Chains A and B, each alone.
Chain A
Amino acid sequence: NAGVTQTPKFQVLKTGQSMTLQCAQDMNHEYMSWYRQDPGMGLRLIHYSVGAGITDQGEVPNGYNVSRSTTEDFPLRLLSAAPSQTSVYFCASSYSRGQGSGNTIYFGEGSWLTVV
């Protein structure tokens, strides 16, 4: 049982490049989300999904795209990277609220992204 797996762990991009942060979970969770963590700002929600084919914006969605074609995967795409997107990115998953299990939310280990 791998839990929530994020790849890559570290990445350096040049301004304007595109890339995809991968996130996969093997717990059959319906809910998945992406957060970014910046110094002094805690974690902020970028996008989330409550099931395959369903996505929605969080607090800071600009510059990011997501899709949810399968229950297991929730990739985060940066179409044209900017220095302001230098951050640590965390993927999270859980059962959907109301489905019991205490709504425990599982986080990946993070992806460190630097845009130069």
Chain B
Amino acid sequence: AQSVTQPDIHITVSEGASLELRCNYSYGATPYLFWYVQSPGQGLQLLLKYFSGDTLVQGIKGFEAEFKRSQSSFNLRKPSVHWSDAAEYFCAVGIDQTGANNLFFGTGTRLTVIP
């Protein structure tokens, strides 16, 4: 069965510092991988996605993620965090179901940014 693990429940970083949010997945085939961000009381916004090809994926707001098949990981990175990046971040895996785009989400990582 597929699963997604985000081992860090809460991360605090200083503004301007670098950021890495961890995501590990379990799935028998090559997965479709996503990172979403959710601000308090808001819906989900797609940051980036990986389907195939280049394992380093660029997203919006200066985020990037690297797919590492050998480690079953898809970690999210940003070189310099801004105060507006404070939010909850979700990693998700999409499995290959005919016609369906069902996602399995991790439990999320809440990011706090210190001025």
- The answer to whether A44 and B105 touch across the interface, beta carbons within 8 angstroms, is yes
- The answer to whether A104 and B49 touch across the interface, beta carbons within 8 angstroms, is yes
**How many pairs of A and B residues are in contact by the CB < 8 Å rule?**
75
Size class of the B contact interface (CB-based, 8 Å): 20 to 34
**Contact mask A78-99 → B, CB, 8 Å, 1/0?**
0000000000001010101110
- The answer to whether B44 and A30 touch across the interface, beta carbons within 8 angstroms, is no
**Contact mask B59-87 → A, CB, 8 Å, 1/0?**
00000000000000000000000000000
Q: How far is the CA of A58 from the CA of B105 in the complex (A)?
A: 13
**Contact mask B31-50 → A, CB, 8 Å, 1/0?**
01010100000111010010
Contact of A109 among B36, B42, B90, B104 (CB under 8 A): B42
Given contacts A97-B94, A105-B103, A109-B42, 19 further A-B contacts (CB under 8 A): A31-B99, A33-B101, A33-B102, A35-B103, A40-B9, A40-B107, A42-B4, A45-B104, A48-B100, A50-B98, A58-B102, A92-B101, A96-B100, A103-B101, A104-B46, A105-B46, A107-B43, A110-B42, A110-B43
